[in-house]
Amino acid sequence: MLITRLAVSGYRSLRDVVLDVGQLTLITGANGSGKSSLYRALRLLAETAQGRLVASLAAEGGLSSTLWAGPERFSREMLSGRQAVQGTVRTGPVSLRLGFAGADFGYAVDLGLPDPTHPFQRDPEIKAEAMWTGEMLGRANLFAERRGPLVSLRRADSGEWRHASGELSAFDSMVTHCADPADGLELLLMRERMRNWRFYDNLRTDADAPARRPQVMTYTPVLASDGGDLAAAIATILAIGEREELEETIEDAFPGCQVLVQGGDDHGVVEMRQPGLLRPLHVRELSDGTLRYLLLSAALLSPRPPDIMVLNEPEASLHPSLLAPLARLLVRASARTQIILVSHSERLIQGLRRDGGIEEIRLAKQLGETRAEDADSPRWVWPKR
Ligand SMILES: Nc1ncnc2c1ncn2[C@@H]1O[C@H](COP(=O)(O)OP(=O)(O)OP(=O)(O)O)[C@@H](O)[C@H]1O
Ligand SMILES: [Mg+2]
């Protein structure tokens, strides 16, 4: 399932952003332009399928700190600089909205403030959700809708609408609570696919990094987001996955080197044979950049590719000479999984442009608000409260 459109509204500097994305999409832009915020917004969206959306948002400080801090809208005078930016009388409710759509599914969620009698005023509430088929929400293709505590589902066969039983609490999503093989089959399918979305940000490589410790060896088709199961993930690729691709990618970055996994069931360790050395180097002895490249290889060559993989600045701590191999690795991986990549490394970007078809989105800030440069904002419809 390819996701073709992403939409975020009211989250930090992303006041109102709709983007078209492709098989391999690069998000770039100056410091502070909103790249990491977009990454986090996507992660929040994915957390809906894990039942953690409201808890994660609360952990970021609740709506008061994550909401767009500017005015509800800019007047023409404010945009032209003739008038200072100032708050206006609110016409709509406070709202943070996240959504995605692809050829087969679209989903969006709208969060707002609890009513004033609620004991925990910082806790955001889910006010509305919608799920539809195809790219844009409309009357005809809507098939699951939530308003407040009530969920309505449309039967795929008869097209009839009915209420799902019971009421949802304000912090539960219909994606987790109404997904049911008998009557919420589409929700269930979408939830399972969203649960596979993977996010890699800041894979640790310091001296105490989980990836440098001996690890229990079990079948590991997906690298953990902290890289703590690197040895098992590499052993899995070597045993049942794209062994040759892994070897090629290591050779591409470190000519003449070989990666291996040593040890028994309970203490597997990654080692690397390097030309000129009499013994392989233990994972503890590898440089930060080398280890990071191994982590990225294990993540990207996963034997169970997810629908979508999102990477935030994977180039951090890599020597420039590794950026061309990393670009090739990304292009290779994007044949099997959709990739959204946040990066501001010119060399990596040049490598990607050279090696494959990429969609480039350049973010910039205008009056504190993130906008996509040189791109018309695609159409998007939010669910109604
Ligand atoms: N609630 C908010 N409302 C409006 N803007 C905000 C809010 N919270 C943070 N910002 C701004 O959003 C901007 C985006 O930050 P973000 O971390 O996404 O930038 P970035 O593109 O990842 O930058 P870098 O390259 O430095 O990592 C920052 O300039 C920050 O000041
Ligand atoms: Mg950032």
User: 10 Å Cβ neighbour count for 241?
Assistant: 19
- List, in sequence order, every residue forming a beta bridge with 17; answer none if it has no partner: 8
Query: Measured in angstroms, how far is the CA atom of residue 300 from the centroid of ligand 2?
Result: 21
Q: Which residue has the higher pLDDT, 367 or 330?
A: 330
Q: What is the average pLDDT across 349-372?
A: 91
Amino acid 48: pLDDT: 94
**13 three-class SS:** coil
Cα-flanking dihedrals φ and ψ of residue 158, to 5°?
A: -95, -15
**Is 36 near ligand 1, meaning CB less than 6 Å away?**
yes
pLDDT of residue 155 exceeding 90, the answer is: no
Ranges of beta strands (E only) in 258-307 are 258-262, 269-273, 281-282
Going by alpha carbons, the residue nearest to atom 7 of ligand 1 is 12
DSSP alpha helix (H) spans, the chain: 35-48, 53-59, 62-66, 76-80, 174-177, 185-195, 230-240, 243-253, 288-300, 323-333, 346-355
Residue 313: predicted pLDDT: 94
* Closest of 317, 300, 319 to residue 309, by C-alpha: 300
The residue whose CA has the least distance to atom 18 of ligand 1 is: 34
β-sheet with 258-262: strand ranges across: 258-262, 269-273, 281-282
Pocket test for ligand 1, best of 8, 9, 27, 36 (most atoms within 8 A of CB): 36
Q: Which ligand is nearest to the CA of 27?
A: 1
> Are residues 128 and 170 in contact, defined by beta-carbon separation less than 8 angstroms?
no
Confidence (pLDDT) at 184: 82
Q: For the segment 212-262, what is each residue's pLDDT rounded down to a tens digit?
A: 998 999 999 999 999 999 999 999 999 999 999 999 999 999 999 999 999
Q: How far apart are CA 369 and CA 150, in angstroms?
A: 34
Q: Is the CB of 37 under 6 A from ligand 1?
A: yes
Ligand 1 centre from 369 Cα, in Å? Answer: 9
pTM of the model: 0.92
Q: Which residues does 184 contact at the CB level (< 8 Å), separation at least 6?
A: 144, 153, 164, 174, 178
Cα 334 to middle of ligand 1, angstroms: 28
Q: Assess whether pLDDT exceeds 80 at residue 121.
A: no
Mean pLDDT of 171-177: 92
Q: CA 220, CA 217: separation in Å to the nearest integer?
A: 8
pLDDT for res 202: 83
Query: Would you say the CB of residue 34 lies under 6 angstroms from ligand 1?
Result: yes
Which atom of ligand 1 is nearest to 342's Cα?
A: 22
Ligand 2 (ion): which residues have CB within 5 A? 36
Q: Tens of pLDDT along 306-356?
A: 999 999 999 988 999 999 999 999 999 999 999 999 998 999 999 999 977
Q: Could you say which ligand is closest to the alpha carbon of residue 70?
A: 1
Helix (H, G, I), strand (E, B) or coil at 289: helix
Where residue 159 falls among pLDDT bands split at 50, 70, 90? confident
Instruction: Judge whether 235 and 317 are in contact, CB under 8 Å.
Output: no
Check whether 118 has a pLDDT greater than 90: no
14 alpha carbon to ligand 1 midpoint, in Å?
Answer: 9
Question: Which tens digits make up the pLDDT trace of 254-305?
Answer: 999 999 999 877 789 999 999 999 999 999 999 999 999 999 999 999 999 9
| pLDDT above 70: percentage of residues in the chain | 99
The response to whether residue 69 sits with its C-beta less than 6 Å from ligand 1 reads yes
Write the pLDDT tens digit of every residue in 185-203.
Answer: 888 999 999 999 999 998 9
Q: Which ligand 1 atom lies nearest to the CA of residue 38?
A: 18
Q: Is the CB of 13 under 6 A from ligand 1?
A: yes
